């Protein structure tokens, strides 16, 4: 064993095993042509020297880094850490490492991503971050697959994985109307985020279908503080909403706190509350938040599969994958008065979904 010295190289192993450096390389390359006997000798020498192939050097010759960059704007919303965790495991299972990129608060992710291109990442996953069309074009030229996660973009033709934002918003409208609510509120995420826009559009369209007005709205910017302020705004109105849909669970919890502890409202008696994502805190019984789910593992699996596919076949057309979710009813909303049906002994709320 060498002490503090530089790590053993394939040449060191070759010398010790009495073979050529190429043989060592082949011994560590699955599927390479090498005799069983030679491989054994190499492996023995490698073990004795504590040798591991240098991934940096390997990347240089193969021109594939087996690194995927993943950008996320913030991790306060529980949804993202869980995505990150699953993504890291999922990518690793396919032999990729995950490089984590957190843009500075309030800054655009572009400079960060550009920096990461120096790392020759094999792919880029953008969660809760948009991609400027300039950078998208740059990636396309560099042949770096880009995948938007929980976002889409209109400015460029990019692949994406999202939940059923539009349908989710509709279902929530259906549920709230069926629960007998009449004055609706919406707390938006970041204004120009496609996710928030689609959820809102589904919601307002759903309401309109039942003959209800556009809801009162306020902007929560996906942050706890801004959502709290939005809640104060909405709840102080003369025509206070009796049902509020928040663009995600994280903001819904902020609204719940303000409603209960600043306005003394009971949920759902005085105010129904719905979120989106169905994250862990939504399940905590102090909130028991009704939420439209974005199933974590399926979404991550789809993302991993898609990005790998894009790497293997760069010429493939872009794809927009939509992972189905479902409305998870909990105690933060009243049960609907109608629209129930029995299936396999379970009581399912079908609602008035026309689709």
Closer to DNA at the Cβ: 10 or 195? 10
Please confirm whether the linkage preceding 255 is cis (ω < 30° from 0): no
Instruction: Report the 10 Å Cβ neighbour count for 68.
Output: 24
Token representation of residue 261: 């502890």
Closer to DNA at the Cβ: 62 or 155? 62
Cα separations in angstroms, 204 against 65, 182, 278, 289: 45, 13, 21, 20
Pairing type for strands 159-163 and 320-323 reads parallel
- In eight-state DSSP terms, residue 230 is H
Q: Residue 349: how many CA atoms within 13 Å on its side-chain side?
A: 18
User: How many residues make contact with a copy of itself (CB under 8 A)?
Assistant: 61
Identify the helix (H) or strand (E) that includes residue 179.
none
Site string for a copy of itself, 129-168 (x = CB under 8 A): ---------x-xxxx-------------------------
Name the residue among 268, 343, 292, 277 with its Cα closest to residue 173. 292
Told to check if 111 binds a copy of itself by CB under 8 A, we report no
Cα separations in angstroms, 26 against 21, 30, 64, 189, 203: 9, 8, 18, 52, 58
Residues 237 and 216: beta-carbon distance below 8 Å: yes
Residue 337 C-beta: closest distance to a copy of itself, Å: 26
Told to check if 318 binds DNA by CB under 7 A, we report no
Closer to a copy of itself at the Cβ: 100 or 348? 100
Q: Considering CB distances under 5 to 8 angstroms, the limit depending on partner class, which of a copy of itself, DNA, none binds residue 10? A: DNA
106: left (phi over 0), alpha (psi -120 to 50) or beta: left
Told to check if 214 binds a copy of itself by CB under 8 A, we report no
What is the C-alpha to C-alpha distance for residues 99 and 20, in angstroms, rounded to an integer? 34
- Segment interacting with DNA (CB under 7 A) among 17-25, 123-131, 169-177, 195-203: 17-25
Q: Among residues 253, 265, 273, 311, which is the contact residue for a copy of itself, using CB under 8 A?
A: 253
Q: Interface residues for DNA in 295-314 (CB under 7 A)? A: none
Told to check if 238 binds a copy of itself by CB under 8 A, we report no
Told to check if 2 binds DNA by CB under 7 A, we report no
Query: Dihedrals φ, ψ of 275, to 5°?
Result: -115, -165
Q: Exposure pattern of 191-210 as b/e (b: 16+ CB <10 Å)?
A: eebbbbbbbbebbbebbeee
Closer to DNA at the Cβ: 34 or 267? 34
Site string for DNA, 44-73 (x = CB under 7 A): -------x-xx--xx-xxxx----------
Q: Interface residues for a copy of itself in 12-51 (CB under 8 A)? A: 50
Query: Dihedrals φ, ψ of 30, to 5°?
Result: -55, 130
Please report, as ranges, the residues that interact with DNA according to CB under 7 A.
6, 9-11, 18-23, 25-26, 28-29, 32-38, 51, 53-54, 57-58, 60-63
Provide the binding-site residues for a copy of itself, judged by CB under 8 A: 1-4, 6-7, 50, 52-57, 59-60, 63, 65, 67, 74-76, 78, 80-82, 84-85, 88-89, 92, 97-102, 104, 112, 114, 116-120, 138, 140-143, 224, 253, 256-257, 260-261, 280-281, 284-287
């Amino acid at each position: 064993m060498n002490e503090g010295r530089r790590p053993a190289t394939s040449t060191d192993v070759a010398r010790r095993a009495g073979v050529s450096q190429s043989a060592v390389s082949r011994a560590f390359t699955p599927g390479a042509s090498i005799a069983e006997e030679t491989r054994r000798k190499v492996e023995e020498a490698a073990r004795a020297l504590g040798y591991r192939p240098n991934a940096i050097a390997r990347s240089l010759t193969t021109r594939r880094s087996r690194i995927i960059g993943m950008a996320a704007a913030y991790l306060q919303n529980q949804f993202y850490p869980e995505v990150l965790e699953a993504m890291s495991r999922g990518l690793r299972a396919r032999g990729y490492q995950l490089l984590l990129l957190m843009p500075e608060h309030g800054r655009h992710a572009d400079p960060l991503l550009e920096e990461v291109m120096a790392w020759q990442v094999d792919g880029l996953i953008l969660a809760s971050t948009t991609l400027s069309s300039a950078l998208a074009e740059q990636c396309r030229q560099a042949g770096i697959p880009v995948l938007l996660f929980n976002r889409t973009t209109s400015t460029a033709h990019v692949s994406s994985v999202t939940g059923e934002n539009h349908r989710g918003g509709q279902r929530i409208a259906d549920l709230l109307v069926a629960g007998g609510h009449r004055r609706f509120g919406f707390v938006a995420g970041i204004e120009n985020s496609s996710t928030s826009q689609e959820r809102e559009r589904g919601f307002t369209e759903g309401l309109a279908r039942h003959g209800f007005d556009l809801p009162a709205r306020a902007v929560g910017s996906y942050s706890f503080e801004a959502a709290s302020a939005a809640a104060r705004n909405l709840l102080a109105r003369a025509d206070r909403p009796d049902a509020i849909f928040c663009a995600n669970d994280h903001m819904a919890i902020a609204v719940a706190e303000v409603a209960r502890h600043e306005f003394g409202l009971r949920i759902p008696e005085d105010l129904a509350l719905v979120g989106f994502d169905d994250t862990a805190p939504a399940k905590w019984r102090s909130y028991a938040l009704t939420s439209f789910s974005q199933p974590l593992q399926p979404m991550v699996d789809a993302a991993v599969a898609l990005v790998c596919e894009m790497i293997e076949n760069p010429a493939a057309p872009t794809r927009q994958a939509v992972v189905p979710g479902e409305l998870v009813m909990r105690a933060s909303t009243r049960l609907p008065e109608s629209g129930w049906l029995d299936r396999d002994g379970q009581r399912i709320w079908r609602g008035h979904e026309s689709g």
